[in-house]
Amino acid sequence: MSVDAQAQEAHAGAGAGHHEEIPWLRRYVFSSDHKVIGIQFLFMSLFFLVVGGLLAMAMRWQIAWPSSQEMPLPGGGMLPDVMVTDGIMLPEFYNALVTMHGTIMVFFAIMPLLVAVWANYLIPLQIGAEDMAFPRLNMASFWLAAPAGILMLASFWVVGGAANAGWTAYAPLSVSEVYSGVKLGQQLWCLSLIILGFSSLMGAVNYITTVINMRAPGLTWFRLPLSVWGLTVTSVLVLLAVPVLAGGLIMMFFDITIGTSFFQPEGGGQPLLWQHLFWFFGHPEVYILILPAMGFVSDVIANGARKPVFGYHAMVWAIVAIGFIGWVVWGHHMFMSGMTPVLGGFFMVSTLIIAVPSAIKTFNWLGTLWGGNIRFHTPMLWALGFVSLFVIGGLSGIFLAAAPVDIPLHDTYFVVAHIHYVLVGGSLFGIFSAITFWFPKMFGRMMNEGLGKLHFALTFIFFNATFFPMHMLGSGGMMRRLYDPTQYPHLQPQQDTNVFITVCALLLFASQLILVVNFFWSLFRGKRAPENPWQANSLEWSAPSPPPHGNWGGRLPAVHRGPYEYSHPERESDYWLQTDPTGAAPAPAPTTSGG
């Protein structure tokens, strides 16, 4: 069957919508169009980002002005007495805030913002497909994620409150009501994550099948944009890591609900088993949360620098290498758990090794920038912010990977600083880069550059002012998840730093209002976006903004080269669309030189 005939046939199947109007409900709510599902995930996870941020603000308030009558939590009066009594936040509620902030941010904000939003939105567009391999499975994936989120939020209002054993839910604290005072909240926590896990699995099966089977003619593996590579390797990690967490969660749920003793020492169980299961999932999860961002940032940096990505193949193999090594490093979370030090040594070495592919990526980004005629558009600023902050987070990661250093720093604010440098400075900056870069494609309108740059500048400043001092707090011995630092004499000299951090955190949160304003203003009033506003090369920029149902109007695009042919010496224009047939004789693979 010829390519065109096949495209026509696929069109005939998918394109019913071109000729007859799709009812509103099926078009925007129960839609199986990958773009609508991506946008649904975008709104859902941005909502959870705000919720998670609010929880963090409440925590910071308590840390800066612990249980203070003079500085009561704003809005605390609206909360029920089991959370805040007489303006004083209860320790149990603080623990629930810690737990839910981590859980919501990791599972309901950052993970969908990186994977679900962009894998859905970008993969078919960047590989030149009309939709996902399994559009209805895709829809089910969203409609499982949304109730999982509602279940998680609802747990705040059940008897005993939300789960409060930390986002890592270490047993036996998490499985025993005697210790934590929470039963129903922890059960809902387990159920919600199991349901979300199903949603992630459906997504992962879909993304992997789609990338393998549905690439446009001419789009070989090594002509894929790095975003697609990042998302694909991430999907493999999701596919293999999430079921392990699900297994652990099921055992935890049984421990709480039907009284088994998998993780309860009094019944013969092994608390350490939960830690192993959790981190066997949890460490690949860390790379799930960074690999897609690395992909987006590579696309944006090449575009901003107007140069091919330096070392495209090395970038691809670095992603793959991180995906592999990520499976054998989980024990570095458990140096202090009583695990045998011999194993600790292994995990330390494997963790240090994973710094190598990460460094390859960093140097290649710098190599891409070197000598480029850089356009500092908003997505580019976020991408540059990503690289610089990821380096700081990566370096503090090397501190923590070394077992002898980790022993004093474990469970201190140093770890909190590290995780936020990679998860906010890394993942979230990458997400903002992606949102500002692909917004014109998604909604057909440009975002405001001035507001975008202001948002970036304020976020960058307040982010560092919030999280950098936490390194000092941690080295000074301040424990994480601490309800009231003033209770400890050795922490009192650092209390001023805590107040400073809280003020900066509040400003950081407030700065995000600019994004909200910019987002919604641009959505309705922004300048109409052309097809290719950034003069980029990859396939999505050959589709209209926003792309119609079926993306390509019934004819699959043909691909003639890799996605990074910027500033080609033999061309006048400094970009070269992958679909551009001119001068395309035998198309070369993407160049690996810095040009």
Residue ranges in 222-270 assigned as alpha helix (H): 226-257
Q: How far is the CB of 104 from another protein (least distance, A)?
A: 24
Residues 6+ apart with CB under 8 A from 579: 539, 542, 557, 558, 559, 560
Residue 134: closest CA among 201, 50, 227: 201
CA 378 – CA 447 distance, rounded (Å): 9
Return the number of the residue (72 or 553) whose C-beta is nearest another protein.
553
Return the number of the residue (6 or 573) whose C-beta is nearest another protein.
6
Return the number of the residue (42 or 251) whose C-beta is nearest another protein.
251
Residue holding tokens 């609802």?
154
Return the number of the residue (275 or 448) whose C-beta is nearest another protein.
275
* CB neighbours of residue 213 within 10 Å: 10
Return the number of the residue (420 or 549) whose C-beta is nearest another protein.
549
Residues 6+ apart with CB under 8 A from 541: 441, 531, 532, 534, 577
Q: How far is the CB of 115 from another protein (least distance, A)?
A: 15
State in Å, rounded, how far the first CA of the chain is from the last one: 40
**Sign of the alpha-carbon torsion through 90, 92, 94, 100:** negative
Q: How far is the CB of 273 from another protein (least distance, A)?
A: 6
Return the number of the residue (13 or 341) whose C-beta is nearest another protein.
13
What is the Cα 504 distance to its own chain's centre? 23
Q: How far is the CB of 475 from another protein (least distance, A)?
A: 36
Q: How far is the CB of 417 from another protein (least distance, A)?
A: 32
Return the number of the residue (133 or 416) whose C-beta is nearest another protein.
133
**Sign of the alpha-carbon torsion through 238, 241, 247, 250:** negative
Return the number of the residue (3 or 395) whose C-beta is nearest another protein.
3
What is the Cα 405 distance to its own chain's centre? 28
For residue 85, give the H/E element and its range.
strand 84-85
Give the amino acid at 318.
Answer: A
CA 318 – CA 387 distance, rounded (Å): 16
Applying CB under 8 A, the residues found at the interface with another protein are 3, 6-7, 9-10, 12-14, 16, 32, 131, 133-136, 201, 204-206, 208-209, 212-217, 219-220, 239-244, 246-248, 250-251, 254, 258-262, 264, 266-270, 273, 276-277, 280, 556
Q: How far is the CB of 175 from another protein (least distance, A)?
A: 11
Q: How far is the CB of 43 from another protein (least distance, A)?
A: 22
Residue 55: closest CA among 15, 16, 99: 99
Q: How far is the CB of 179 from another protein (least distance, A)?
A: 16
Measured N-to-C along each axis, helices 341-369 and 312-325 cross at an angle, to the nearest 10 degrees, of 160
Evaluate whether 285 touches 105 at the Cβ level (below 8 Å): no
Q: How far is the CB of 276 from another protein (least distance, A)?
A: 8
Coil, strand or helix at 19: helix
Return the number of the residue (311 or 326) whose C-beta is nearest another protein.
326
Return the number of the residue (194 or 447) whose C-beta is nearest another protein.
194
Evaluate whether 276 touches 332 at the Cβ level (below 8 Å): no
Q: How far is the CB of 542 from another protein (least distance, A)?
A: 16
Q: How far is the CB of 183 from another protein (least distance, A)?
A: 15
Q: How far is the CB of 84 from another protein (least distance, A)?
A: 36
Q: How far is the CB of 312 from another protein (least distance, A)?
A: 19
Tell me: cis bond preceding 533? Omega within 30 of 0 counts: no
Q: In terms of C-beta density within 10 A (0-12 exposed, 13-18 middle, 19 or more buried), how is residue 97 classed?
A: buried
Return the number of the residue (141 or 436) whose C-beta is nearest another protein.
141
What is the Cα 356 distance to its own chain's centre? 22
Give me the DSSP letters along 24-75: HIIIIIS---HHHHHHHHHHHHHHHHHHHHHHHHHHHHHHHSTT-SSSPPTT
Tell me: cis bond preceding 135? Omega within 30 of 0 counts: no
Half-sphere exposure of 85 (CA within 13 A, CB side): 6
Residue 26: closest CA among 36, 18, 38: 36
Q: How far is the CB of 44 from another protein (least distance, A)?
A: 22
| Beta bridge mates, 89 | 84
Return the number of the residue (162 or 211) whose C-beta is nearest another protein.
211
Return the number of the residue (88 or 239) whose C-beta is nearest another protein.
239
Return the number of the residue (53 or 217) whose C-beta is nearest another protein.
217
